[in-house]
Amino acid sequence: MRAPAPRVTTGEMALHTCMLCEAVCGIRVDTDGERVTSIRGDADDPFSRGHLCPKAAALGDVSSDPDRVRQPLRRVGDRFVPIGWDEALDEQLVDALSGNASFSGVAVTVSAESPSS
């Protein structure tokens, strides 16, 4: 799933939505270059009205986690090799359409859930 584009970006602050659960609260993300410096609830968001739970406050840590997966990986034996998005999507599509998926039964699945539940 692709993250939605920020609604408004003004210099070092972007209005966005937290995607960690189905509440999709409005958030204000302050940055210093690539680094997230703070995340606050967006009081102007019509649904969340400034609410922010502790999980969203830690999104900056997730963003800067050195172990964060930032691109598709292909398993090669016991290693994971980085590949491009086009290559990964093409391979998945070809596997799904040809029935050559390396796993049996389900070729494509979508998971939409809340980490809260």
Say which DSSP state 117 is in.
Answer: -
Q: Where are the beta strands (DSSP E) in 33-69?
A: 35-41
Which amino acid would we find at residue 64? S
Which one of 50-58, 67-75, 78-86, 88-96 is the stretch in contact with ligand SF4 (CB under 6 A)?
50-58
What's the closest the beta carbon of residue 20 comes to ligand SF4, in angstroms? 4
With respect to ligand SF4, which residue has the nearer C-beta, 5 or 76? Answer: 5
Which amino acid would we find at residue 60? G
- Using rule CB under 6 A, residue 56 touches ligand SF4: yes
Which positions from 4 through 23 interact with ligand SF4, judged by CB under 6 A?
18, 20-21, 23
Q: Record the tokens describing residue 27, joined without a space.
A: 């958030």
Size, binding site for ligand SF4 by CB under 6 A: 10
Judged by the rule CB under 6 A, the positions of this chain that interact with ligand SF4 are 18, 20-21, 23-25, 52-53, 55-56
